[in-house]
Amino acid sequence: MAAALALLSPGAGAAQVVEGYLLAGGTGAKVGDGTLRLHTPGGVTVAQGESDDEGYFRLDVPERGTYFLTASAEGFADLTHGHFEVRRGQTHTWDIYLRPQPISLDGIDVATRTPLATRVTDVRLDMFGYKERAASGLGWFISPATIERKKAANTSDLLRMVTRMDMGQGFGTRLRMDCGEYIGVVDNITLFTGQGWDIDFAVSPIDIAAIEVYTSLAELPVEFRRGGNCGAVVIWTKG
């Protein structure tokens, strides 16, 4: 299964970073003790690290350039992703999905199992095109793993990392985009058009499976261009 790009943002400092979560494809279960390596197109390994118990990994990239990533873990098929460009001072945050393989214990194949609700959520996101759009590198993607880790009290707290978008305070948290009019979408239904969506009133973080944010017309997918809007906040619930 291909790696899904969860978040792409300019880093605050001069260093380049590739970070994210190693997850089981089809289930979203966290994969610890996985090995991740960053390579140049010529095959030279420039960074290596392991995922922790939460599936999180971080690789410091020595310099800007073109790279590809390999990931491996016991019980999963190896994955190679790339090539991709890393610019100076940039941070890539990804969800890397590995395809499970049976583990052999004394000649007995033991399959990896995860909760049904997690598998259903993963299938729904795939069906609605979330993973395909995430892999494009256009927009901001807040994945199920990130949402679970943050344990946000309000939906707006999940969006504070997004640039070119402000959160006005008053009666609720009102989202405004620099580009102008945007739409608010929940499960493919447009609930808001304009500026100042009270997103905390619209949906609770406990119900959210994943979020997509597009803050310019250049990155906005055609399926979310609905009447002249320049951006979109797209929420997928757990169903």
pLDDT at residue number 102: 62
Task: Give pLDDT, residue 116.
Answer: 59
Q: Which residues of the chain have pLDDT under 50?
A: 1-13
In degrees, rounded to 5, the angle at the alpha carbon of residue 122 between the alpha carbons of residues 152 and 186 is 55
Q: Report pLDDT for 1.
A: 42
pTM of the model: 0.56
Residue 108 has a pLDDT of 52
CA torsion, ordered 226, 229, 230, 231, to nearest 10 deg: -70
* pLDDT of res. 221: 95
**What's residue 13's pLDDT?**
46
Query: Residue 14 has what pLDDT?
Result: 54
Could you tell me which residues come within 8 angstroms of residue 63 by beta carbon, excluding any fewer than 6 positions away?
Answer: 16
Q: Domains, the chain, ranges and CATH?
A: 4-114 (2.60.40.1120), 145-237 (2.170.130.10)
Question: Residue 188 has what pLDDT?
Answer: 93
DSSP 165-198: EEEEEESEEEEEETTS-EEEEETTEEEEEES-EE
